[in-house]
Structure 1
């Protein structure tokens, strides 16, 4: 069993830890002045348990997914959805389930690298997490190298803490909210499937509606929705910490954002009904289904087939996580 090494940045405005498994970033603490701080990234309640394989071993925080998504076709898809077999066995991609190597560490910067198997279209990923010396912010860059020209579902996977005291989802400007084609947890998911709504504050359910602008929700559930044409920054407010947290990215890389609302709705191990988190996942693809499902041609997200990569031409994207005090 490989050791899941961890590396930590400490700077005047916070502290951030990156682990080898999945290259996952968390925990992160942003110091906001006057003794105030906020730790916005989620760490799964089972911690680091080698009994669980791949990304489930020590699920936490933020990491890249290429190719993004599930490898299993969900049952009971609506008519018109086409299915196919995933091209490998790794949910959210090889890099999400294997150890990265630290290739550089300075007081403000950590650089990681991972090589994909030789028969994979993706050759390697290089990830750099850099702390701003002047403020409570982290800039992350990801360089993708591929062996052949290819289009793949692509996403980032920032997962934010949902404390008992609550978090306000101020979100971003967007065109529409699309609901998942099926119930992701049949016993608990409540939002009506395969529908489009105008706002995340009024999502129709089986017995009313959800306003997901305030979490946690009052009932047990597990949901996925996709915000079409999401214009960052995506903003969360943590009232107990009197802090706002922002996630910024380039919409040319990721035109939408998938929201994963984990509200205790997975009662099996290792989740055991104890996971409360909000995934805000900038995405170029169709939910987390792009590897195995295509929506009907008339679906509003039918054109979301993934990001295009070119052989011998590395592609670098960057994004930013930051925090600021909310004035009293």
Structure 2
């Protein structure tokens, strides 16, 4: 199934309809093309080798995709990250006006009985891809997440909205030394994002990527503010050294109260990873437990602390999840990102050198859900 592409003004994106992954999103910034999303090297390799159990979402691993549920699928039969990340979508239509394009897609399978609709919007002059996923009807409870992946070939910096704490799960992503390596301490927790415990002693600054060499790690960051529907958005900004740009990822914190970081830096030796999937940072905004669907919908350590980990589906009910991805170039006189604010149709980035820069942004898009 071929990728389907769309363009408006200086913006473009393409979607892999076989699995619903965004293949690429590009912004032509005054003649310089920014491409913030990662695509796994084996996707376009006709000779790629896969273990028999490799799910479609790994075989076609690209850009960003919507997970429902997130991670282990141990309630309703489906591959990891659910049918939205592993099965076909239909293009339902395209809504166009002079300065706006919205492509609409429908998942060809149901999730817990719910119909899933994807709406991807470009707006002229906005260096963002606006996403909305709607779950219509269904029964039971479901966790959800976005799965944004950013290639950082020579590392970089990560700035995030205020977090209350960060923690790793009980077991490392790669506990078997014959297959791979992880370097963070599992389990562990801290409120200091600049000093997360390492397995062999010492600490990693989560604001610097990567924190080590040849490793695969997973950590959950919990928002400091998640109770107010109209509060400031949650955000992550990855500033990339080699690419000399900044990738912006934004969410509604009441909807998606956690951000899970997947650090994929050559730490898996088995196919198709084969040590070649490196310098990739996953920024996975979620309403989920990292331990899978079943854990997300029962009492767990997160919801015990007031952090919601699932939505409740019901007949006649619609749940809307919104998210935005953008990018801008790095200016040499800025320094590191230390803050982000929205208002009056703009996003304003604040930097260590005291400077500010604003980008056009629909600040009402994420609010009030």
Instruction: Provide the TM-score with structure 2 as the length reference.
Output: 0.76
Q: Secondary structure at the match of 1:324?
A: strand
Maintained 8 Å contact 1:217/1:263:
no
- Structure 1, unmatched stretches of 5+, are 72-84
- Work out whether 1:16 is the aligned partner of 2:20: no
Residue aligning to 2:38: 42
The change in CA–CA distance for 1:327 and 1:7 in structure 2 (over 3 A counts) is: same
Q: CA deviation at 1:273?
A: 0.8
Structure 2 residue corresponding to 1:88, chosen from 55, 77, 90: 77
Maintained 8 Å contact 2:165/2:222:
yes
What do the CA deviations read for 1:29-71 (whole angstroms, capped 9, x no partner)? 22222x3232111101102468654212211111111111114
Q: Secondary structure at the match of 2:294?
A: coil
Q: Which moved more, 1:134-143 or 1:237-246?
A: 237-246
Separation in 2 of the partners of 1:320 and 1:14? 14
Maintained 8 Å contact 2:91/2:106:
yes
Higher RCO (CA < 8 A, seq sep 6+)? 1
The change in CA–CA distance for 1:105 and 1:7 in structure 2 (over 3 A counts) is: farther
Structure 1 residue corresponding to 2:136, chosen from 134, 138, 145: 145
- Count of residue pairs the alignment pairs up: 307
Maintained 8 Å contact 2:303/2:309:
no
Q: 1:118-267 residue pairs with structure 2 within 5 A?
A: 121-148=112-139, 150-163=140-153, 165-186=154-175, 187=177, 188-207=181-200, 208-229=202-223, 232-267=234-269
Residue aligning to 2:286: 283
Q: Secondary structure at the match of 2:242?
A: helix
Residue aligning to 1:80: none
Q: CA deviation at 1:136?
A: 1.5
Maintained 8 Å contact 2:12/2:25:
yes
What do the CA deviations read for 1:89-147 (whole angstroms, capped 9, x no partner)? 32111121111111123673321111325xx5232111011111112111111111132
Instruction: Provide the TM-score with structure 1 as the length reference.
Output: 0.85
Separation in 1 of the partners of 2:84 and 2:284? 16
Separation in 2 of the partners of 1:302 and 1:252? 11
Separation in 2 of the partners of 1:13 and 1:105? 18
Q: Secondary structure at the match of 2:161?
A: strand
Separation in 1 of the partners of 2:72 and 2:55? 15
Separation in 1 of the partners of 2:306 and 2:105? 34
The change in CA–CA distance for 1:258 and 1:297 in structure 2 (over 3 A counts) is: closer
Q: CA deviation at 1:296?
A: 5.8
Separation in 2 of the partners of 1:61 and 1:112? 17
Maintained 8 Å contact 2:169/2:186:
yes
Q: CA deviation at 1:214?
A: 2.4
Maintained 8 Å contact 2:130/2:323:
yes
Q: Which moved more, 1:266-275 or 1:315-324?
A: 315-324
Q: Which moved more, 1:184-193 or 1:104-113?
A: 104-113
